[in-house]
Amino acid sequence: MATTAELFEEPFVADEYIERLVWRTPGGGSRGGPEAFDPKRLLEEFINHIQELQLMDERIQRKVEKLEQQCQKEAKEFAKKVQELQKSNQVAFQHFQELDEHISYVATKVCHLGDQLEGVNTPRQRAVEAQKLMKYFNEFLDGELKSDVFTNSEKIKEAADIIQKLHLIAQELPFDRFSEVKSKIASKYHDLECQLIQEFTSAQRRGEISRMREVAAVLLHFKGYSHCVDVYIKQCQEGAYLRNDIFEDAAILCQRVNKQVGDIFSNPETVLAKLIQNVFEIKLQSFVKDQLEECRKSDAEQYLKNLYDLYIQDLKERIRQRTNLPLGPSIDTHGETFLSQEVVVNLLQETKQAFERCHRLSDPSDLPRNAFRIFTILVEFLCIEHIDYALETGLAGIPSSDSRNANLYFLDVVQQANTIFHLFDKQFNDHLMPLISSSPKLSECLQKKKEIIEQMETKLDTGIDRTLNCMIGQMKHILASEQKKTDFKPEDENNVLIQYTNACVKVCAYVRKQVEKIKNSMDGKNVDTVLMELGVRFHRLIYEHLQQYSYSCMGGMLAICDVAEYRKCAKDFKIPMVLHLFDTLHALCNLLVVAPDNLKQVCSGEQLANLDKNILHSFVQLRADYRSARLARHFS
């Protein structure tokens, strides 16, 4: 048997290998019986095979040694290459560091140069602009407008900007010396204003929204801007009243304008409110008057019926539903909730007695049907006529978010409605369920109850959302009227005695009062849900408010004190997320006072590390020393 390395590949079994060798050796196996067995021949074969194995072992050993030497050689070469690459990498890294330092140096120089250029360029631009205005003023003084900007109709936008500035300048000039030129500027001002309004009108007829937006933006600084709005309102009503239902036409008109007005005007709510007022005063007043005058004297009952059908609140509610705009209160409830626990208790007592009579007097087969009829009557008069009416009236009485010193009575409605509905639910379980529990009427009653609950929850959610908007609007009004720019940039840095600003004190007092009111008006998880929403909106308001000011070092400290007070106020919410938001805001305010060299370290702190870099940068930009200390380099 030829000896090769392949014979020893795994799985190798020595016994089987000997057996195969013996079997292949003549006279070595059991073939031919005991007489054919030749031990000498077998011994000779073993000796020869052992010699072959030894030779093969020597060959393999030499091959292994050769491969080991080759492997060692390649390992040395590889290690040498790795060392060379490491040296190259170190050199490249060193070059990179030098380049990075050089780039930082150049960037710092560029920033410094940019600041210097800006410092030079800004006065230069103002001087150039003043020179141009003087040139245009001289043209009016000479009585001949030669500049292309006044003679080229395509440059009406540039002409409007110039004439608007000249008009402001002319207001300051003495009348006796400059009466003629003032008159010419005023005349040109009026002509351009008329041209712009005409251009806006033409663009509206062509349906060119982008052109309308462009012209409206130019007219915004002119006295005739309100006339532009009037033109828009007049034209958008053309062809709007085609149906028999003028209320539906008006609601559809407001819905259509609501989608468009935000793309044209910078103050869409004001324009839409003016449209609605126009619709009421011009279209609806005459329509209602005509409808009522027909039967005012002849048929008093029909007159009252018509008055009910034409109740104007119906239109306002349609507009609210279609446009989701706060149109202001249509009625003043004077704090009245229009809910009476005495009335409710009497209704439930009457219904309880009705259920008892029904149980005693009805045949077993008629009992579920009769109980269901009683339940239907209770739902109609208690849930719809009483609770739902109070919710509708409460919704109508919620002020708009920009109202001043608004009284928010809707939370009182929420509190009383919840109490009444708990009583209604108790009677449902205690007196109605036993009468219908084993009949098909049970599913009908449960479905009707579910529908009523969903209907009320929708109105409660809407009312609470609008109430929260009013709260935020009131806070915004306090901040706008009480906060002064000098609060955060005092003239005398060394003489600031107050711990926090007056605006902060008033806002915190208002918030604490509203939080207490919410806790008293609701129960369970509803309190946490509403306080969470109020807290998030409160945080957003303060965050956006702080972004409006520039802060000196002492002003930054005062801002931190204000936010600390706001955070103390947020603790009253007992909502972890709200407190976390104010903790983060407090950490952000530290960026207003930290030393420039420590800025990067503070930005990578625990509370700020996860915030977007742009948010951190936006706060640092509020510092009065942002340019002088070249703080932008920390964010480049």
Top pLDDT among 180 and 445 is at 445
Q: What would the pLDDT profile of 404-444 be if each residue is shown by its tens digit?
A: 666 778 888 888 888 888 899 999 999 999 899 888 888 99
Q: How confident is the model at residue 330 (pLDDT cuts 50, 70, 90)?
A: very low
| Integer Cα distance of 283 and 286 in angstroms | 6
What is the b/e burial string over 439-464, where b = at least 16 CB atoms within 10 angstroms of the residue's CB?
A: bebbeebeeebeebeeebeebbebbb
Query: Between residues 632 and 143, which one has the greater pLDDT?
Result: 632
Query: Contact, 160 vs 191, CB < 8 A?
Result: no
Q: How far is CA 618 from CA 10, 461, 483, in A?
A: 71, 35, 21
Which comes out higher in pLDDT, residue 517 or 156? Answer: 517
**pTM of this structure:** 0.52
Q: How far apart are the first and last CA of the chain?
A: 80
Side-chain half-sphere exposure of 26, counting CA atoms within 13 A? 0
Give kind and range of the element (H or E) at residue 582: helix 576-589
Q: Which phi-psi region, left, alpha or beta, contains residue 3 (left: φ > 0; alpha: ψ -120 to 50)?
A: beta
- For residues 284 and 250, the answer to whether their CB atoms sit within 8 Å is yes
Confidence at residue 603, expressed as pLDDT on a 0 to 100 scale? 85
Would you state the structure tokens that stand for residue 214, as one six-digit string? Answer: 């462009």
Tell me which residue of 197, 190, 276 sits closest to 232, measured CA to CA. Answer: 197
The residues with which 528 forms a beta bridge, in sequence order, are: none
Return the sign of the alpha-carbon dihedral for residues 623, 627, 633, 636: positive
50-54, 313-317, 360-364, 497-501: which has the minimum mean pLDDT?
313-317
* DSSP single-letter state for residue 397: T
- CA dihedral (345, 349, 351, 356) in degrees, to 10, reads 160
Single-letter code of the amino acid located at 286: S
In the chain, where the domains are located: 38-114, 142-279, 341-460, 483-634
Of the candidate ranges 283-287, 411-415, 538-542, the one whose mean pLDDT is the lowest: 283-287
| CATH architecture type of domain 483-634 | Up-down Bundle (1.20)
Q: Where are the beta strands (DSSP E) in 412-468?
A: none
- As to burial, measured by CB atoms within 10 angstroms (0-12 exposed, 13-18 middle, 19+ buried), residue 364 is exposed
pLDDT at 183 over 60: yes
Q: In this predicted structure, what is the pLDDT of residue 327?
A: 46
Average pLDDT over residues 452-481: 91
How far is CA 515 from each of CA 139, 186, 459, 535, rounded to the nearest angstrom?
63, 54, 21, 10
Long-range pairs of 101-105 with CB within 8 A, sequence gap ≥ 24: 104/633
What is the chain's Cα-based Rg? Answer: 44
Q: pLDDT at position 134, please?
A: 76
Q: Let me know how long the chain is.
A: 636
Token pair of 89, please? 């990498």
List, in order, residues 6 or more apart from 302 with CB less than 8 Å away: 295
Tell me the three-class secondary structure of 182-247, residue by residue.
HHHHHHHHHHHHHHHHHHHHHHHHHCCHHHHHHHHHHHCCCCCHHHHHHHHHHHHCCCCCCCCCHH
What values do phi and psi take at 432, rounded to 5? -90, -45
551 beta partners: 623
Burial (CB count <10 Å: 0-12, 13-18, 19+), residue 478: buried
For residues 396 and 136, give the distance between their C-alpha atoms in angstroms, rounded to a whole number.
55
Query: Which residue's entry shows tokens 């040296």?
Result: 87
Q: Is 468 left (phi over 0), alpha (psi -120 to 50) or beta?
A: alpha
Neighbours of 607 (CB within 10 A): 15
Band of pLDDT at residue 309, cut at 50, 70 and 90: low
- The count of C-alpha atoms lying within 13 angstroms of the C-alpha of 612, restricted to the half-sphere facing its C-beta, is 3
Report residue 623: phi and psi, to 5°: -70, 140
Dist. CA 51–CA 31, nearest whole Å: 26
Is the predicted pLDDT of residue 495 greater than 70, yes or no? Answer: no
Which of 45-59, 137-151, 356-370 comes out lowest in average pLDDT? 137-151
Q: How far apart are CA 423 and CA 346, in angstroms?
A: 12
Q: What is the pLDDT of residue 329?
A: 42
Nearest C-alpha neighbor of 543 from the set 564, 563, 557, 526: 563
* pLDDT for res 529: 92
Long-range pairs of 169-173 with CB within 8 A, sequence gap ≥ 24? 169/133, 169/137
Please give the pLDDT value at position 530. 93
> What residue spans of 279-386 are helical by DSSP H?
285-293, 300-309, 313-323, 341-361, 367-378
CA 310 – CA 307 distance, rounded (Å): 5
User: Cα–Cα distances in Å, from 118 out to 133, 549, 621, 623?
Assistant: 22, 21, 17, 18
DSSP-derived 3-state class of residue 551:
strand
The pLDDT value given to residue 537: 94
Closest alpha carbon to 554 in 610, 624, 631: 624
> What pLDDT band is residue 544 in, cutting at 50, 70 and 90?
very high
The torsion angles phi and psi of 551, rounded to 5 degrees, stand at: -125, 125
- Rounded Cα–Cα distance for residues 16 and 8 (Å): 11
> In Å, what is the CA distance from 76 to each residue of 16, 84, 89, 173, 474?
44, 12, 20, 92, 79
Give mean pLDDT, residues 102-118. 77
Q: How far is CA 126 from CA 131, 168, 482, in A?
A: 8, 16, 33
Quote the Cα angle for 497-620-566, to 5°: 50
Model confidence pLDDT, tens digit, residues 367-415: 999 999 999 999 998 998 888 888 888 888 888 777 766 677 888 888 8
Task: Give 3-state DSSP helix, strand, coil % of the chain, rounded to 5.
Answer: 75, 0, 25
Which has the minimum average pLDDT: 346-350, 439-443, 627-631?
Answer: 627-631
